[in-house]
Amino acid sequence: MKTLTLMLSITLVWSFSAFAGKKVAVVTMLRGQVEILTLGKTTALKEKDPIEDGAVIKTSEKSFVKLVFFDKSQMNIGPNSEMKIEKFSGDDSGVIDLVKGKIRSQVTKDYLQMGKDKSKLFIKTPNAVMGVRGTDFMISTNGINTSTVLFEGEIVFNKLEDRSEINTGNLENIVSNGVRMQPGEFSVMDASRPSPTEPALLNIKQIEKLEKNENFESDRNPSAAKDDTGKGTVVPGGLDGKAVSNNSETINQEVAKVAVIEGPKSASSSNADGFENGEKIKPANGSFVHIDSGVIIPPGPGSVLDPNTNTYIASPGAGSVNADGNYVPPKNVEITPDGKIFAVTAGADGKSVVKEIAAPSPVLARAVLGSPQQGTAVFSGRVGGPQFPPIPDANDRRTATGGLANVTESRQVDTKPTTTTTVIVTPNP
Amino acid sequence: MKYLAWMLILFIGLSAYAQENSVEITSAAKDSLFQKAAKSFSQGRYQATVDELNELEKSLEKSPSTSKAQLGFIAYWQGLCLNRMQDFSESIPKFDKALQLEYSPIDLNYEYGQALFAMEKLEEARLQFKESLKKKFKRGVALYYIAYISKEMGDKKRAITFYKAIEKLSAEEAKEVKQAAEMQIGDIYLDQVESHPDAFRAVETYVIPQYEKALAQDVNSGLALQIKEKITNLQRKYDLVLFKMRNGRPTLIPAYFLRASLEAGVDSNVTFSPTETVIAKSKQSSPYSRNDFMGRYTFYYKNYLSIAPEMRFNYTRYYNRVPEIYRNDNYLLAPAVRTAYEHHLWDKPASVLFDYEYADSQRDVDAKKKLEFSSRSNTLMIGDRFNYFASGETTVRLRHRIFDSYIDGNDSKTTSFVVEQNKALKKNFIVFYFSYDRLRANNNIFDTDSLTLRGDLILSQFRDAWALPSIGLALTSTDPVNDRSSRGRELLINPSLRLSRMLGKSWRANLKGDYQQNQSKNKDSFAYKKTIYALELEYLF
């Protein structure tokens, strides 16, 4: 019945738009406060409201809106977001401008019946542009950096110098020179870098949970999110994750007795390790992404390579994800939406203080991007740079009860400049 | 009768209930569910795999034809997925269930052991790794786990036994763990000897050699860095190697310095060797090559004196083979001994310097295409390097050189006063050099007094750029004391530019440009201009 009502609403809206023109989408679900700015007038948005081409939609905290476009593409706009529909005319690729916040979108495969290598929709952010070639993805920006995760289909992603660009031919040229992402991969466009990170497979837990979180449940209701950090590692001291990993040969043989096993992952992420090659940076497969800020957290020393997925399983010190796929740093670390990292450390007087971890130097980033084993040496302080410090007053992080919330001292911020906000940070060794 | 009727109703009801709860899952449905789980598994969607296998397990449990092996397989598969998600508290009961159902593929005990290890159930984990060892699955790593757990549980003797057992495995089986095992043995040795009053002897005799044995397995591995650090820390802690002099200046590690270089360039106006007191210009350009080798080793006596013998050799050849040019072909052999006595000045580190240099030069002095004695010199220097300015070190030297030329009239003695000042800027670095040189020759007409001022700016701000640039400018004003009327006061202007780029760990390429203009009243014999461009390739050992 619900589906029937929805279909009827959409049909009515399109019928209406045939007369009024430029109606491109309809609101099918809405939570909290959502405003629409159209023709210079701001009004509160309600379910079943039509959305015109050129409209600006703003969501408040803990709010969310789901739009269905005339081609049946869905777009879920998360809390604290602002998005403008610049163009969605029907005879050309659409252009969306995400000013801040995040979008989860499922674009229909047959939209405009375009060629395989042509983008069906462009989503611009303050520093990046994404060409959507179908179908299920998430994009997020804090107004400075942009991170994107692909669940299904293919997207192309690149830096955007001129945000006012609206010509789809020019946008196509820009994205076609960017990175091409496959399902399960993520990429981050750091405002201070010339190009986005090479696609890497996201942490297996994060991708699975993010994929389920279509409606930004935990962003609207953080208490519902379960923090499942704090487990032990399988890697004994002295070894690296590759040495102890099981090559999956046995399980594959056993599974093959009852089912057909699909082939390996895409070639672009075939190198599980991270690397830096000129201007190209590829994080290690299995890295986490702090979606709000674009901070990349490598799997870290003590992570184990899962040959089945060709990703590293993050070490406990690297943090974890909550029930809805958002990255949860270790208990003594906090990452703000603008990419600043604060950590509780032991002060000279033995009391806990909160310090900002300075953005890493290029040297550190280079080392971090190496294999987790290479990282081990770097993270232990030989090279220097920021790292997640050990939790104060606790020998064992698994039993530590300290956290940012328990610290009453004022924040002490390192005087080192933190010009790079999207950073690859090091987990606690 | 009534009782019979009730019995009948109860029987029918129970039969219906039993039928309802023993619904046989069809083969097609089972295959489909397995396929769905296999797809999720291959995509790395482990939670989905676990959920789908849970559904399948429920259906199979209701089916009387389900075998223990099928349920065991599902439990094992789920356990493996949960391990991949690091949900060890969930995976442990799954592995346990698989074992109870007598389903035990070759890697089950290994995976089970890892889950128990992560949950710090060490004794149980050790048992599982022993089972894995029996199954010959990842024997090297299983032995390592057993040894590591034994050490964690305080049984160091057993730990060493198992670590050493790794050595007996084939190279293939041991390769992932051998270096780490050797390091762990070193750690255990250290634990045992550290509390002993004579610890440093045991550290030197047993612990460090054990770490060195570990290091030798693979000097380029990630673990090698940790091992090197362990060795260095022990050397520091037990004063096995001198790291700092008494005033805090670091010692050189390694103590040797070796450099070889090959330079190829073009000199637009080849002049005589700069060791001559007469400048004669060829007014011709020539390509040239120069091979240079330099080595030094620094010995430390206690923590206050260093003595560094040094040897330098270079050979230069010009390729424009006309007599005016090839007579400049030469080689130079220059041994030296440099000493430094460490002390404090103004409460900061300082060094008294005392150096002796000898140089022997052979040149084709008569243009016979044969290198012959050209000159030799003995130089003594005494000075001090100290920290007076916060921005960098200052060196003051007094130098005396006795020069013996193949032309007796050119023999000379030079006394110099030299000051060098380093200055660190915000991003860059400057070296200033000042010298006053008083040269007195056998033939008085070549006596000179000269002042040199030189500055070199190293643009460290471009350290991460393609090449590191540095620029320099030297000005030398020379007063020909007894020949002022013909030469006047001369001025040598010498700007230079250098771009350096490291090529890998040991190679460095330098692109050099150097311009010299000597202004003199005697334009025929002393005034000249020249430009030198060169590419130098250095290897630093």
Task: Report yes or no: B107 at the A interface, CB cutoff 8 Å.
Answer: yes
**What value of ipTM does the predicted structure carry?**
0.71
Q: So what's the pLDDT on residue A106?
A: 82
Q: So what's the pLDDT on residue B135?
A: 93
Q: Do B77 and A255 touch (CB under 8 A)?
A: yes
Task: Report yes or no: B180 at the A interface, CB cutoff 8 Å.
Answer: yes
What would the mean pLDDT of A166-171 be, rounded to a whole number?
83
Token digits for B391? 């921005």
**Shortest distance, CA B42 to any CA of chain A (angstroms):** 6
**Amino acid at the residue A154:** E
**Amino acid at the residue A78:** G
The band of A340, judged by pLDDT with boundaries at 50, 70 and 90, is confident
Q: So what's the pLDDT on residue A403?
A: 35
What CA–CA distance (Å, rounded) separates A30 from B170? 64
Nearest to A309 among B44, B141, B184 (CB): B44
Show which of residues 293-322 on chain A sit within 8 Å of chain B, judged by CB atoms.
Answer: 306, 308-309, 311, 313-314, 316
Cβ-based neighbour number of residue B465 at 10 Å: 11
- Gap between the terminal Cα atoms of chain B: 108
Task: Report yes or no: A384 at the B interface, CB cutoff 8 Å.
Answer: no
- Structure confidence by residue, pLDDT tens digits, B8-45: 555 555 444 444 444 556 777 777 888 888 888 888 88
Question: In this structure, are residues B318 and B349 in contact, taking their beta carbons and an 8 Å threshold?
Answer: no
Pairing of strands A121-124, A94-106: parallel
**Shortest distance, CA B257 to any CA of chain A (angstroms):** 24
- Structure confidence by residue, pLDDT tens digits, B425-469: 888 889 999 999 999 999 888 899 999 999 999 898 887 778 889
Low-confidence winner among A68-82, A187-201, A383-397 (lowest mean pLDDT): A383-397
What CA–CA distance (Å, rounded) separates A347 from A360? 22
Task: Report yes or no: B183 at the A interface, CB cutoff 8 Å.
Answer: yes
**Nearest chain A residue to B82, by CA:** A205
- Is pLDDT larger for residue B72 or for residue A112? B72
Q: Which residues of B touch A244 (CB under 8 A)?
A: 114, 141
What CA–CA distance (Å, rounded) separates A287 from A297? 6
Q: Which residues of A touch B148 (CB under 8 A)?
A: 236-238
Q: Which residues of B touch A377 (CB under 8 A)?
A: 222, 225-226
Residue A72 clears pLDDT 70, i.e. is over it: yes
Q: Do B86 and A255 touch (CB under 8 A)?
A: no
The band of A397, judged by pLDDT with boundaries at 50, 70 and 90, is very low
Q: Which residues of B touch A263 (CB under 8 A)?
A: 42
Cβ-based neighbour number of residue B256 at 10 Å: 12
Interface test with A, best of B30, B36, B41, B150 (most A CBs within 10 A): B41
Token digits for B66? 């389900």
DSSP state of B330: E
Task: Report yes or no: B464 at the A interface, CB cutoff 8 Å.
Answer: yes
Q: So what's the pLDDT on residue A262?
A: 67
Question: Mapping DSSP to helix (H, G, I), strand (E, B) and coil, where does residue B102 land?
Answer: coil
Show which of residues 362-381 on chain A sit within 8 Å of chain B, judged by CB atoms.
Answer: 362, 371, 373-374, 376-377, 380
**Shortest distance, CA B140 to any CA of chain A (angstroms):** 10
The band of B379, judged by pLDDT with boundaries at 50, 70 and 90, is very high
Task: Report yes or no: A152 at the B interface, CB cutoff 8 Å.
Answer: no
Q: So what's the pLDDT on residue B9?
A: 57
Low-confidence winner among A128-132, A182-186, A239-243 (lowest mean pLDDT): A239-243
Nearest to B222 among A208, A309, A376 (CB): A376
Token digits for A336? 């703000």
By C-alpha distance, which of B518, B440, B439, B437 is closest to B474?
Answer: B518
What CA–CA distance (Å, rounded) separates B304 from B385? 14
Task: Report yes or no: B117 at the A interface, CB cutoff 8 Å.
Answer: yes
**Nearest chain A residue to B150, by CA:** A236
Q: So what's the pLDDT on residue B404?
A: 93
Nearest to A260 among B35, B221, B464 (CB): B35
DSSP codes, B485-524: HHH-SEEEEEEEEEEEEEETTTEEEEEEEEEEEEE-S-TT
- Structure confidence by residue, pLDDT tens digits, A244-254: 888 778 888 88
**Shortest distance, CA A370 to any CA of chain B (angstroms):** 11
Q: Which residues of B touch A361 (CB under 8 A)?
A: none
Q: Do B464 and A308 touch (CB under 8 A)?
A: no
By C-alpha distance, which of B327, B314, B316, B330 is closest to B287?
Answer: B316
By C-alpha distance, which of B477, B481, B511 is closest to B491?
Answer: B477
Q: So what's the pLDDT on residue B19?
A: 46
Q: So what's the pLDDT on residue A304?
A: 83
Task: Report yes or no: B222 at the A interface, CB cutoff 8 Å.
Answer: yes
Question: In this structure, are residues A35 and A56 in contact, taking their beta carbons and an 8 Å threshold?
Answer: no
- Structure confidence by residue, pLDDT tens digits, B72-109: 999 999 999 999 888 898 999 999 999 999 998 999 99
Distance of CA A191 to the CA centre of its chain: 15
What CA–CA distance (Å, rounded) separates A98 from A429? 37
Nearest to B48 among A208, A228, A254 (CB): A208
- Structure confidence by residue, pLDDT tens digits, A262-297: 655 544 457 787 777 777 788 888 888 888 888 888
Compute the mean pLDDT over every residue in chain A, rounded to the nearest whole number. 72
Contacts for A48 with CB less than 8 Å, ≥ 6 apart: A9, A13, A26, A27, A28
- Structure confidence by residue, pLDDT tens digits, A398-422: 222 233 333 333 333 333 333 333 3
